[in-house]
């Protein structure tokens, strides 16, 4: 098969489409013939040599895919060759074939295009597990989503609105704020023009910035608020005012999905299929796709994401 190989850490040009050995199904694994994958910000860090794949993961980038089940290994439950699926991966999605534990594989929701399904697993599992399973966002509460126009943000807006929350986003331009409002967000803050913490009060904050926003996020939390940090685009360190946290009886969580054990990912995937997929089947939640790029030209897809002009997902397609 072919896969995108990171020849050495560096610029997008280091991504090269090469012939590599086919994966073989281990116990409990499925081989997916990949229709499409999608770019996640973590892939850019992996390409730059700043994010090692977890032990045992494929060396090729790609945290999600859609495709057709090709082979099933021993002890796989619920899937057969020919099934149309999408999957949460620990790596290896930028390829023609990928091996994945069956627990991380999902049916493609009804009405979703087989290519667009590639952009759902990572955002659905990340948003569902953090905002709903960990932070327990409730109907009527306010969710603040940083980077509302990101892949993660576009899913967070739709899911939180579907569950009856008030959604506020931050985004880097008036145009991106407008796109978030079109997707259902109630309010938007252009973070380049305004400090969100001056006017937002949230029960739950989904944060992708980390250190740079820590103090402002705590300031923006309501009493009983929950801050979930899933990204560190603004650094890993910040000053935490424990006094403010105590007075607000608030909590700060930090999580990552990629390195979790298979059984934890499996529990998230089952919950997503049970609670989120019916909303996708019904057309309440839709994949938000910026563009499609041939997988062999993954370098171009990385340039698009690095330029930061996208809204939603950049997909990588196999012919
Ligand atoms: N922990 C986990 O398990 C996990 C899983 C998935 C993703 N993530 C993290 O989630 C984030 C989003 O991932 P993605 O793949 O969806 O990325 P993406 O589409 O490339 O989006 C990155 C976003 O960051 C926003 N941003 C940059 N600086 C900002 C600031 N100062 N304030 C607010 N927003 C700012 C950008 O907003 P503008 O374009 O509007 O400027 C952009 O929407 C990444 O940090 C990623 O590492 C974490």
Evaluate whether the domain defined by 2-120+258-317 bears CATH number 3.90.180.10: yes
Q: Are 38 and 118 in contact, with CB atoms under 8 Å apart?
A: yes
**Structure confidence by residue, pLDDT tens digits, 151-162:** 999 999 999 999
41 pLDDT higher than 80: yes
Distance, CA 147 to ligand 1 centroid (Å)? 6
Give the pLDDT band of residue 45 (cuts 50, 70, 90): very high
* Residues framing ligand 1 (Cβ under 6 A): 40-42, 122, 126, 146-147, 149-153, 170-172, 176, 191, 208-209, 230-231, 233, 255-257, 305, 308
Closest C-alpha residue for ligand 1 atom 21? 150
Q: Residues 250-278, buried b or exposed e (16+ Cβ, 10 A)?
A: bebeeeebbebeeeebbebbeebbeebbe
Mutational test site, ligand 1, from 152, 190, 313, max ligand atoms within 8 Å of CB:
152
pLDDT in tens, 79-138: 999 999 999 999 999 999 999 999 999 999 999 999 999 999 999 999 999 999 999 999
Q: What residue spans define the domains of the chain?
A: 2-120+258-317, 126-254
CATH of range 126-254; options 2.30.40.10, 3.40.50.720, 3.40.50.1860, 1.20.140.10: 3.40.50.720
Nearest atom in ligand 1 to the alpha carbon of residue 40 is 15
State the pLDDT confidence band at 261, using cuts at 50, 70 and 90. very high
Residue closest by Cα to atom 25 of ligand 1: 147
- pLDDT at 244 (0 to 100): 94
Asked whether the predicted pLDDT for residue 252 surpasses 80, the reply is yes
- pLDDT for res 18: 98
Distance CA 265, CA 261 (A): 6
- Mean pLDDT across 275-289: 97
Give phi and psi for 158, each to the nearest 5: -65, -45
Q: Could you give the angle at the alpha carbon of 105 between the alpha carbons of 102 and 106, nearest 5°?
A: 140
Closest to 188 measured CA to CA, from 218, 162, 154: 154
pLDDT of the residue at 42 = 96
Residue 319 has pLDDT above 90, yes or no: no
pLDDT of the residue at 50: 95
Distance 57 CA to ligand 1 centre (A): 23
**Share above pLDDT 70 across residues of the chain, in percent, rounded to a whole number:** 100
Q: Mind listing the pLDDT tens digit for each residue in 194-244? A: 999 999 999 999 999 999 999 999 999 999 999 999 999 999 999 999 999
């Amino acid at each position: 098969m072919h896969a995108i190989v990171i020849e050495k850490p560096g610029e997008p040009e280091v991504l090269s489409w090469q012939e590599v050995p086919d994966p073989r199904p281990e116990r409990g694994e499925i081989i997916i013939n990949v229709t499409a994958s999608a770019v996640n910000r973590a892939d850019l860090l992996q390409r730059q040599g700043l994010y090692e794949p977890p032990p045992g993961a494929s060396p090729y980038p790609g945290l999600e895919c859609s495709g057709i089940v090709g082979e099933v290994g021993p002890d796989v439950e619920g899937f057969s060759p020919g099934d149309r699926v999408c999957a949460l991966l620990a790596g290896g999605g930028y390829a023609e074939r990928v091996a994945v534990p069956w627990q991380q594989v999902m049916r493609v929701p009804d009405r979703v295009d087989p290519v667009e399904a590639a952009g759902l697993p990572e955002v659905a599992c990340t948003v569902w597990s953090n905002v709903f399973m960990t932070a327990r966002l409730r109907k009527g509460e306010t969710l603040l989503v940083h980077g509302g126009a990101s892949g993660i943000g576009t899913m967070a807006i739709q899911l939180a609105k579907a569950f009856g929350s008030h959604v506020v986003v931050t985004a880097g331009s008036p145009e991106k704020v407008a796109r978030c409002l079109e997707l259902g967000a109630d309010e938007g803050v252009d973070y380049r023009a305004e400090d969100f913490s001056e006017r937002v009060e949230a029960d739950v904050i989904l944060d992708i910035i980390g250190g740079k926003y820590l103090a402002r996020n705590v300031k923006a939390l309501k009493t009983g608020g929950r801050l979930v940090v899933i990204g560190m685009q603004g650094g890993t360190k910040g000053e935490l005012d424990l006094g403010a946290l105590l007075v607000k009886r608030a909590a700060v969580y930090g999580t990552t999905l990629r390195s979790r054990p298979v059984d934890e990912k499996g529990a998230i995937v089952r919950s997503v299929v049970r609670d989120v997929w019916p909303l996708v089947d019904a057309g309440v939640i839709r994949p938000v796709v910026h563009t499609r790029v041939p997988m062999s030209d993954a370098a171009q897809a990385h340039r698009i994401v690095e330029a930061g002009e996208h809204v939603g997902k950049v997909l990588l397609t196999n012919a």
